[in-house]
Chains A and B, each alone.
Chain A
Amino acid sequence: MKKFRLNIDGKEVLGLPGQTILEVARENDIFIPTLCFDERTEIYGSCGLCVVEVEGNPKLCKACATEIAPGMVVMTNTDRVVESRKTNLELLISNHNGDCKAPCVKACPAGTDCQGYVGLVANGEFELAHELVKDRIPLPASIGRVCPHPCEDACRRGLVDEPISIAAIKRFLADTDMMSDQQFIPEIDEETGKSVAIIGGGPMGLSAAYFLRQMGHDITIFDAMPKLGGMLRYGIPEYRLPKEVLDAEIAVIEAMGVELVPNTKIGEDISFETIQGDFDAVLLAIGAWVSTGVGCPGEDADGVIGGIDFLRKVVRNEYIDFGEKVAIVGGGNTAMDACRTAVRLGAKEVYNIYRRTKDEMPADRLEIEEGEEEGVIFKNLTNPLEFVKDENGHVRQVVLQVMELGEPDASGRRKPVAVEGKTEVLDVDTVILAIGQAVDATPFDLEKTKKNAIAYDENTFMTSIPGVFAGGDCGNDKISIAVEAIADANKAAIVIDSYLNGEAVSYEAPYYVERTDVTEKTFEDRERLCREKADQLTAAERKDNFSEVVYDGLTDEQAVRESSRCLECGCHDYFECKLIDYANQYDVEPERFEGDKNMVEFVDDHPFIVRDPNKCILCGLCVRVCDEVMGVGALGLVNRGFDTVVKPNLEKPLAESGCESCGQCVSVCPVGALQERQTVQKEVPLETAVTGTTCSYCSVGCSLEIENYGDMLIKANPDKEGVVNEGICCGKGKWGFDISVLEGKEVDPKIKDGEDFRLTDYHEAVVMVAKKMEAVKVRNGRDAIAVAISDRYTNEEMYVMKSLAQVMGAKVFSFNNRQNALADVLGVDASPNTIDELLSTEVILVPGFIKKNNPVIWNKIKQAAKNGAKVVVINTDGACDAFDFAEKMVCTENSTAFLKGMAKALIDMGKTSAVEGFDAFAASVADVEVCEEMKAVAELYGNAKKVMIVFQQNVLSVEAATLLADIALLSGHIGGPRNGILEVKAKNNSQGLVDLGITAGAEALEGVKGLLIFGEDPAAYDLSGLEFLAVCDIYMTETAAKADVFLPGTGAICANGTYTNTERRLMAVEAVVEEDVDFNNWEVACEIANVYEEDFGFDEEADISDEMDDVLPLYKYAEIDEILGGVLSPVDPKFVVAADAKMVDELPCADALMNMMADRLPDVVKATE
C-alpha cells in the first residue's frame, strides 16, 4: 500500500491510508494526550483531549478519529489546541471529586509523602518507609523530634479521634535506621565535576548538600560555628533534640562525601569573593541568628538577653548568671524552649509573658502543656511596657501592660488590645526576649530585603548575583520552622542542579485535586482508636536535667498500630493517573469553573474492584472494554448530561451485574475511579517498579506487568505488548499474581510427628525424604517410588525436579496430565495449530469449551467471529455458554454421539482416507444415526477451505478428543495454517512438562508406595496406600496435610525462567520479589539430590537453561515469545476407534493455586430485573 506523506509539527512523516493522525503521531513519538482512547475498542472520541489543528480545516480535529490524507499538515501544539485541552481538563477537574494527595502530604512544606511512609510502616516495611522519608527529609531523626508537624494538624484522622502521630513515626523510622547495622545512605549519581559552596550548615544547608550531593555534585559546607547543625544544634535544647542524634544524621551527610568546613566565618576567615571564584554555584543558608527586641524602654539593661542567644549559650555551656526570677517574653517555640531551659537551669520562678491567651500562642501545644507541668508561670494577656533597671543598670522589674482580646486581625487571631491604665509589675532578675529573629547578612554584598535579609527570586532561589542562591530563614523575610528550610533546600537543589547543567528551570508547585466534601460525618463508620504514645519522663523526672523527654520513641508494634489508623486519604492511583499528569502539563486553573459536582451514592461491594464514581471522568473505557473487548457488558452509562454516571448492569451491585471479575475495567481506567483492592495490609499510593512476566494459571501465556514496591506486591496488569494476550487477561491473572505470598503461606520444613507436624530444619527434612524413598524402593522395588510434578512450574524448575527423579530412580508423572488423543491419532503430543490462526480461519468448531478456563482464547474466538469466521459451538448442558456470537449453537447430550454422527456424515459426504485404520474407524461409526444438525455441522466443517477445532484437553474426554482428531484427519483439515486443531492445555506449563518427556498421568500411581509431590494437590485421588509421602508446596494443602515430610515451596512471583504455552510459545518468567522461604523450588530438588551425593551444579536459573539447551534439542534454538516449530503436521497418523463416552469429562485440577484462585474469584451473577 502506498504511504501518505504528511507533516506533523514540522516533521515529515509517513502513514498508511486509513491510519488516524493519532496513530501516525504515536508511531513518530509525537505526543498527543488522550483519556478515552484505547486501540482495542471502537473509536469513541468523547474526551476531546486529542484535538489538533489541520491546515485548511477551520475546526479542531480529534486526532483519534481523523484519518490522515496525503499532504496533510497537522499541528498538535498551537495556542488554540493547548487552550482547548486546558479548558477541557479544567472542566473535567471541576467535576472530579477526590484527593490526589493526602492532606498531611500537602501540609508538609517539604511535601514529604507522609501517607506513603505511614502506610509502609503499617505494612511492616520499615526500611522502605525510611527511604521514602529520606527522599524529602535528610534529617528525619531530628525533624521527627522537633517539627511542629503541620502534617498532623491537617490529618483527617483528627475528625475521627486523634491525628496520626506522623512525627513520632518519622522519628521511629530514623531511630530504627540509626540503630541498624547498616545505616541508609542514598545512592550518589555519577560525579558531575561541578562544585557548590553552601554557606551555613543548618537544616537548609545540610539538606541542600544532601540533595545536591545525590545529583553527583561536589559539595562543601562552610559554617561559622564549631559544629554543624545550625539552629537545630544551637537553638533547640538537648532535652528535645539530643545532640548525638543530630551528629549521627550529619555523619551520614558527611559519609555521602560532603565536605564540612566548620569554624569558618565568611568575611572574616574567608572572603565571599574567594568562594564565588572557587565554586560553580553558591547557596546562602546562613539562617537568622539575631534576636529582635520588643522596642520598649530599658531594653538595653543588663540581664535582658535574646532568646536564641540564651539557648546558644546553654548549648555551648557558656556561663549565664540569671538569678532566681526569669521572665521570658514571647509565645513561640523558642520562648517555650527558653522557659523550659530556664527551669532546668534551676531558676526559682520562670514567667512567660505573652500578650494573648494560650489558645493564640504559636508554640506547639505540647510544649506549653509540658512547660506548665514543669512549673512555668504563664502571664498571659500581658505585654512589657518597660524594663526597670537597678542602680547598676541591671534589670530589676518589668512593667506589664494588661491586655484583652479584641476583634480578629488579618491572621484570624483576636487582636490584643491594651486595657487602658491597667498595669502590673513583676520583679525579675533576668529577661529573655524570644520575640523574633533577624538576619545578619552583612558580609554579602547583594540585594537585600526591607528587613535587611537576603533577597532572592522565590521560584529560582537566585539572588541578585547570578549563580548565588539563597533560601531558608536568611532570605525573603520568611523566618520559619526547620522543615520549611528543608523544603527550600529541596526546591533550590532542583534549580541549582539545572543551573549547573546550563538550564534555567524554576520551581513550580504541582497542582493537586482536593476533596471539598470531607466532614466528621464522612468517617462516622470508623472505629475510634486513640493514638499510640511513646513513654516519656514525668515533669518531676525531667525538670532538673536535660535528658530527652521522650526517651525511646515508639516501639515496632506501636508504630505499626499507629500507622494502621491512617485513613488513606490520598488517591491510590495517583502515580498512574493520566488526569493529574495532564493537569500539570497544561497548568490548569480549574477554580474558574467551580460549581456543582455530580456526587453519586454507590455500593462498593466487589471483592477485587474498588469503585468511586465521584472520580469518574466518563471516558467510557471501562464500559467499552467490558463490552467490546471482554464481551461481558456488566457496566453501562446511566442518566444524561451532567448527571451521567457509569453503573453496573440494571443498577445492581457490581458483583451481581454479570461481572466476570477480569479487572480489565480497572486496568484501563485513566483515573482512580476504578482501583484494585489490594491484598497488602494497608494500601499505599506508591511509585511502583514494574516487572514483565507471564501469567502462571492457564496455558494461554498472558504477558503481565506486575507492580511491586520493595517486597510488597501491588498489582498486575496485562501487557499491551503481550504477544498472545495483546493487553487483556482474565481475573486469575489480574488478581492471582500474589497468590504465593498470602496469609497462611508455609515457610518452614515440617515433619509428621504423630498426628501433627513439627518444625524441622531443611537438613533433617531432605535427608528424611531421600532415605524414606530409598527404604520404600528397597522394600517394594524400583517401580514403587515416583515423583509427581505440577505443570505450574517453570521449565527450569521441572527440569531440576525431573533430574532429581532420575537420581532417585523414581518414575515421573503429573496428576494433571490427561492422555493426549492427538498423540495417538496424529502422532504429535502438542497442539498442531496456534492461537492466532483462529483469527483468520473460515469456520471454528468449538466443542464443550468452558469460557472461564481460558477467557482469552474465548476472546480470540469472538474476535474471529467478528472477522467473519463462522463459529459452531457444540454445547452440552452447563459445559459452555457465552457464545451468543456463534453462527450455530448445537445443544446436545453429554456424549460422543454428536461427534460420531458428524464423522459418519462426513464419510457419507464422500470423505475418505487411505490412512491406516480408516476402515475400522468407518465401521465403528457406520451404525450411528445421523441427524440433520450433525449433517449441517459436518457440511459446514467438511466444505470449508480452512477450519479449526478448539478444545480444552482436560475438559473433553479422551474419546471425544480422539474423535475430533479422527474427524480432522478424515476431512483433511489438519497440518495446514489456519486449518487444524488448537488443543488448549490445562496449565501454564503443561506443554513444557510434555516436552520434558513427562507425559504420564495419575495412572502412573499404580503400584507406587513412596511419592514425592512437587506442587500438586490431587485431592481426588486416594493416597492412603502410600508408605511414604513428601510434599513440597506453598500452602498446607489437603494432600500436604497427609505428608510425612513437608517442604515449603515458592510461587511464580519469585521464579526466573520460562513456560511453554499451549501453542509451544516460549514465555519469559521473571522474578518480581523474593519470597520469605530459604530455598526455592529447584533448590529444594537440588538439596534432596545432594543427599544422593549428586551436585547438579546449578547456582542460578541460567545454569539450568544452559544445561537444558544441551539436553533438549527443541529448546536449544528457542527464542522468547517465539513458537517452537510452526504448524505441526501429523506424524505417522492412524485412525483410532473411540469408545462411547461422555464428551465433556473434566479432569479435576491438581494445582492447589489454580483451585484457590477459582474459589477466590466470585461466581458470575447475571443481572436480572
Chain B
Amino acid sequence: MKVIIGQGSCGIATGAKKTQAEFEAQIAAKGVNVEIDFTGCVGTCYLEPIVDVYEDNGDMTRYVKVQPDRVERIVEEHLVGGKVVEEYAIAPEDQQFLDKQQRVVLRHCGLINPEKIEEYLAVGGYEATQRVVTSMTQDEVIEEIKVSGLRGRGGAGFPTWFKWNAAKGNPGKNKYIVCNADEGDPGAFMDRSVLEGDPHSLIEGMIIGGFAMGATEGVIYCRAEYPLAIKRLEIAMAQAREKGFLGKDIFGSGYDFDLRIKAGAGAFVCGEETALIASLEGERGMPRLKPPFPAAKGYWQQPTNINNVETFANVAWIINNGGAAFGAMGTQQSKGTKVFALAGKIKKGGLVEVPMGLALKDVIFGIGGGIKQDKQFKAVQMGGPSGGCIPADLIETPVTYEDINKTGAIVGSGGMIVMDEDTCMVDMARYFLDFTRKESCGKCNYCRIGTKRMLEILERITRGEGQDGDIELLEELAAKIKDGSMCGLGQTAPNPVLTTIRYFRNEYEDHIYNHTCTAKSCKELISYEITDKCVGCTACSRKCPVGAISGEVKGQHVIDKEKCIKCGKCLETCKFGAIVKK
C-alpha cells in the first residue's frame, strides 16, 4: 500500500506537511508497512490537503481535506483495517470536477512524484525527446507541431510552430529557447502547477523546441515567488542531466542542449517577451519596440524563441500521440485543451483542463459547480488584468480564442474570475486597472500616466464623485492608451474598463448620476440601517469597531451615519436580519 499526499503549493498551504508528519507518526505507531510519497496538485485545490491511498492492486481511494485530525482514522480503518473511510473520501460531485476534464498539460500532475525522474520515465517520459533527437529532422518536428495546431498558451495564442520556424530560419551565432515561467496574472496558477507537479514535461518540451529551432541553450525565466517550483525544476534538471537527457550528445544524437533557471524579481511586465529578455540580460525589465521580434533579435541579439510553461508541457504529448490527435481536440481554430484557473465566487475553485470550444457555462457550472451560496452569476473576468468581463447573457460563448476575443475579453493565460451579484463592476475594473498601472514599466507616456488618470476617474466614480463625461473620457483614454502603448501591458490594460462599460454601462451611470452602487459594494455609496426587526440584543453595538451603534437593551438600535465606517461587521453579526445595506 502507498499513501500519496498532494504537495503542491496549495496542498502545503493548507497543511499537507503536517498531514504527512501525522501519517508518518501514525504508521510508525501502528507498525504497518505503508510507503508514503507525495505528488503535485491535482487541480481540486479547494479540497486540499488531498491524500490518495493506493492498494497494491492499483485501486485508489482519494481522501480530501485531510487535516492531521483525520489521519488517525484513515490509518486505523483503512491502512490497518482495509476499510475505506467513506466519510473523508472525495464526494462524487467533486470527483466529477476531475472526470469532466480532459488532461494533456496536467496529465501527470497529482499522479507522479515530481522529484523522481523514474516516475516520469514510468509514464513514458523522455520517449518523445528520444524520438525527436534521434529520428526526426527539425522540419519534421515543426511540422508535427503545425499539424497539432498548438497555439501559445501565454495569452496571445500565436501559432507555436510559426515562432519555432522563424527562430530556426533566422541566422545567428547562438540561438536561445526561453520558457516564460513568470506567471503574473492575479489568480492564475496553471504554470505553477506544472512546474511543481510535472517539471520534466516542461524540460522535455524545451529540449524538443530547442532541437526544432536549433538552440543549444535554454533558459527558464521563473518568478522568484515560486520557490517550490524552482526547487523542483532544479531537481528535475539535475536528474535529467544525470540521465544524459540534458547536456552534451543527448541520446547519442550529437545534439547538445542544456537549461538553466533565471529567477525573475516578479515584475508583471516581464511576462512581455522583450521585457523578459531585458531582464534576462540584467537590464531593467522594460519592453522595447518590435520589430525586430525576438525570433530575429532576442536574447543577446540572437534568434530567440519564448513560450510559456503550458505551451511546452503540451509538446511531448503531441510528439507521443501525434499532432493529429491533439488537433482532434478543440475547435477548428483553437485546438487542443486549455487549463483554466477557476477562482472568485465559484463553488469549486481550482485548475481545470478542458478541450477548447467548451461553453463557458459548462466550465463554470458544469465543472465549477456554479456560484457560491447559489447567488446570481453576474460575469466572468477572463484573461486577467489584460482581459475583460463577459456578462451572464454571454455564458454560452465557447471558450476559443476567437469567440472570447469577440466579447472583448481574451483567453489569456486562462484565469477565470467568477463574479456574482455582489460584485460592483466599476470597482472590479478599478481593481484590475490599479494592478496594471502599478505594474506598468513606466516607459510609454500613455501607459504610465494614462492608466493612472483612468484609475483616478474610476476611483472618483466609485466614491460617488463621478462627473458627467467621465465615461466618455474613460473610453477616449482607453482607446488612446491601446493605440499609444508599446507592449501588450498597455495595449490591453484598458480592457477590463472597456468591457465593463460595454456590458455594464448602467452601473457606471448609476454611480455617476444617481450616486448609487447597484451591487451595494462601493463604501462611499452605501449606508447601513437598523430596521424595526431589531430586538435590542446589543450584539451589533458590541462588535462595531467605531462605536457607531447605540441603543438600550431590548430597545431599537440606531447607527450614527457620521461615525459609521461601513465595515459591515454589524450586518454579519445580526442574527435577526435587522440590519440592511442601502
Contacts and interface: CB of A to CB of B under 8 A. Distances in A.
A91 B267 contact: no
Nearest to B460: A595
B224 interface: no
Given A641-B437, A641-B440, A595 B484 contact: no
B78 to A, nearest CB: 52
B456 A596 contact: yes
Contacts of B445: 46-48, 88, 91-92, 617-618
Nearest to A641: B440
Nearest to A592: B473
B444 A48 contact: yes
B70 interface: no
A641 B448 contact: yes
Interface string B5-27: 00000000000000000000000
Contact of A642 (B286, B442, B480, B483): B442
A641 B442 contact: yes
A787 to B, nearest CB: 56
A1144 to B, nearest CB: 33
A380 interface: no
A639 B438 CA distance: 9
Contacts of A47: 445
B480 A637 contact: no
B274 to A, nearest CB: 11
Contacts of B284: 636-637
Contacts of B442: 618, 637, 639-644
Contacts of B438: 640-641
Contacts of B269: 640
A1114 interface: no
Contacts of A644: 441-442, 448
Contacts of A639: 442
A83 B485 CA distance: 15
Interface residues of B, number: 31
Nearest to B469: A592
A642 B437 contact: yes
B98 interface: no
Given A51-B484, A644-B442, A45 B449 contact: no
A425 B448 CA distance: 70
B4 to A, nearest CB: 42
B105 to A, nearest CB: 31
A1113 to B, nearest CB: 50
B439 A640 contact: yes
Interface in A58-107: 59-60, 62, 65, 83-84, 87-88, 91-92, 94-95
A88 B448 CA distance: 11
A507 interface: no
Contacts of B77: none
A45 B453 contact: no
Nearest to A645: B442
B267 A59 contact: no
B444 A46 contact: yes
A228 B321 CA distance: 103
- Name which of B438, B448, B486 has the most chain A CB atoms within 10 A of its CB: B448
A620 interface: yes
Nearest to B484: A48
> Which of B437, B440, B453, B476 is the most central at the interface, judged by chain A CB atoms within 10 Å of its CB?
B453
Interface in B282-327: 284, 286, 288-289
A84 B446 CA distance: 10
A84 B452 contact: no
Contacts of B473: 592
Contact of B448 (A44, A87, A618): A618
B267 A620 contact: no
A65 B289 CA distance: 7
Contacts of B485: 48
Contacts of A636: 284
Contacts of B43: none
A43 interface: yes
Contacts of A592: 473
B448 A595 contact: no
Nearest to A35: B445
Contacts of A94: 449, 453
Contacts of B444: 45-46, 48
B193 interface: no
A593 interface: yes
A1153 B284 CA distance: 41
Given A636-B284, A640-B438, A641-B440, A87 B449 contact: no
Contacts of B486: 45-46, 48, 62
A84 B453 contact: no
Interface in B429-466: 437-446, 448-453, 456
A65 B448 CA distance: 20
A977 B476 CA distance: 59
A591 to B, nearest CB: 12
B396 to A, nearest CB: 30
Contact of B443 (A46, A88, A95): A46
Interface in B225-275: 267, 269
Given A91-B445, A92-B449, A595-B452, A641 B484 contact: no
Nearest to B440: A641
A84 B439 contact: no
Contact of A641 (B289, B446, B452): B452
B476 A91 contact: no
A641 B451 contact: yes
Contacts of A91: 445-446, 449-450, 453
Interface string A563-600: 00000000000000000000000000000110110000
Contacts of A46: 443-445, 486
Contacts of B441: 640-641, 644
A62 B289 contact: yes
A52 to B, nearest CB: 12
A646 to B, nearest CB: 10
Interface string A630-663: 0000001101111110000000000000000000
Nearest to B285: A640
A49 to B, nearest CB: 8
Contacts of B443: 44, 46, 618, 620
Interface in B120-160: none
Given A47-B445, A644-B442, A87 B452 contact: no
B452 A642 contact: yes
Contacts of A92: 445, 449
Nearest to A83: B480
Question: Could you say which of B439, B448, B449, B473 has the most chain A C-beta atoms within 10 Å of its C-beta?
Answer: B449
Given A51-B484, A84-B483, A618-B442, A45 B289 contact: yes
Contacts of B483: 51, 59-60, 84
B547 to A, nearest CB: 33
Contacts of A62: 289, 486
Contacts of A43: 289
A644 B445 CA distance: 11
B439 A641 contact: yes
Contact of A593 (B267, B286, B288, B453): B453
Interface string A221-244: 000000000000000000000000
A439 B483 CA distance: 55
Given A60-B484, A640-B438, 6 more contacts: A45-B486, A62-B486, A84-B480, A84-B483, A84-B484, A618-B443
30 contacts: A43-B289, A46-B445, A48-B484, A48-B485, A62-B289, A83-B480, A84-B480, A84-B483, A87-B477, A88-B484, A91-B445, A91-B453, A94-B449, A593-B453, A596-B456, A617-B445, A618-B442, A618-B445, A620-B443, A636-B284, A637-B284, A640-B267, A640-B441, A640-B442, A641-B440, A641-B448, A641-B451, A642-B448, A643-B442, A644-B442
Interface of A: 43-48, 51, 59-60, 62, 65, 83-84, 87-88, 91-92, 94-95, 592-593, 595-596, 617-618, 620, 636-637, 639-644
The 4 closest A-B pairs by CB, nearest first: A644-B442, A641-B440, A91-B449, A642-B452
